[in-house]
C-alpha cells in the first residue's frame, strides 16, 4: 500500500503519473472518480507515439461546452504512487489551460486498485 499526503482543503486531488508509450512522461493528473476514462491531452498522446487521429474507437464525452466525440486509445502503462496498470483505455482531449493539470485519472485506471481517501487525516492510499 502506498500512502500519499493530500491537502484536504485543495479543490482537487492531483498526483503525478508516469505514462508509457515509446517514451515515458511524467504528468500532473487529477483523480476523477466521476470520469469513466482516464484523459490525456493530444500533445502528450502524440509525444508518447500514439496517433489518436487515426483511432477507430471514438466515444462521446460531455464537456462544459456540450457533447464531443473523442478518440479512445489504449495506453501501455500508467504508474501512480508506485502502483502500475497496463493497457489502460484513455480518451484523448485537451483540458483548458486554466485547469493547471495535464489530465484526469478516471475509472479506467482507478478501478484496478483499492483507493482510500481520508480527508480528515489528509491521506490518500492506493493498493
- Rounded to the nearest integer, the mean pLDDT of the chain is 95
Q: What is the pLDDT of residues 21-37, one digit of tens each?
A: 999 999 999 999 999 99
Backbone angles phi, psi at 47, to 5 degrees: -60, -35
Q: What is the pLDDT of residues 26-80, one digit of tens each?
A: 999 999 999 999 999 999 999 999 999 999 999 999 887 889 999 999 999 999 9
What is the Cα gyration radius of the chain? 14
Q: What beta strand segments (E) does 1-127 contain? A: 2-5, 14-20, 24-31, 38-40, 58-63, 66-80, 83-92, 103-105, 115-118, 123-126
Which carries the bigger pLDDT value, residue 64 or residue 123? 123
Q: How confident is the model at residue 13 (pLDDT cuts 50, 70, 90)?
A: very high
User: What are the boundaries of each domain within the chain?
Assistant: 2-126
* Chain centre to alpha carbon of residue 100: 14
CB contact at 8 A, 47 and 102: no
Question: Which pLDDT belongs to residue 38?
Answer: 98
- Distances in whole angstroms, Cα of residue 7 to Cα of each of 29, 33, 75, 89, 98: 15, 18, 29, 29, 20
Question: Which pLDDT belongs to residue 65?
Answer: 81
Determine the CATH number of domain 2-126: 2.40.70.10
Amino acid at each position: 500500500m502506498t500512502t500519499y499526503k493530500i491537502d484536504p482543503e485543495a479543490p482537487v486531488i492531483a498526483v503525478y503519473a508516469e505514462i508509457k508509450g515509446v517514451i515515458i512522461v511524467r504528468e500532473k493528473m487529477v483523480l476523477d472518480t466521476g470520469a469513466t476514462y482516464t484523459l490525456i491531452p493530444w500533445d502528450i498522446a502524440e509525444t508518447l507515439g500514439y496517433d489518436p487521429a487515426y483511432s477507430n474507437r471514438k466515444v462521446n464525452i460531455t464537456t462544459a461546452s456540450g457533447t464531443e466525440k473523442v478518440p479512445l486509445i489504449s495506453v501501455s502503462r500508467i504508474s501512480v504512487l508506485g502502483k502500475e496498470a497496463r493497457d489502460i483505455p484513455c480518451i484523448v482531449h485537451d483540458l483548458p489551460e486554466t485547469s493547471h493539470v495535464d489530465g484526469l485519472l478516471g475509472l479506467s485506471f482507478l478501478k484496478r486498485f483499492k483507493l482510500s481517501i481520508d480527508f480528515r487525516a489528509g491521506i490518500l492510499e492506493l493498493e
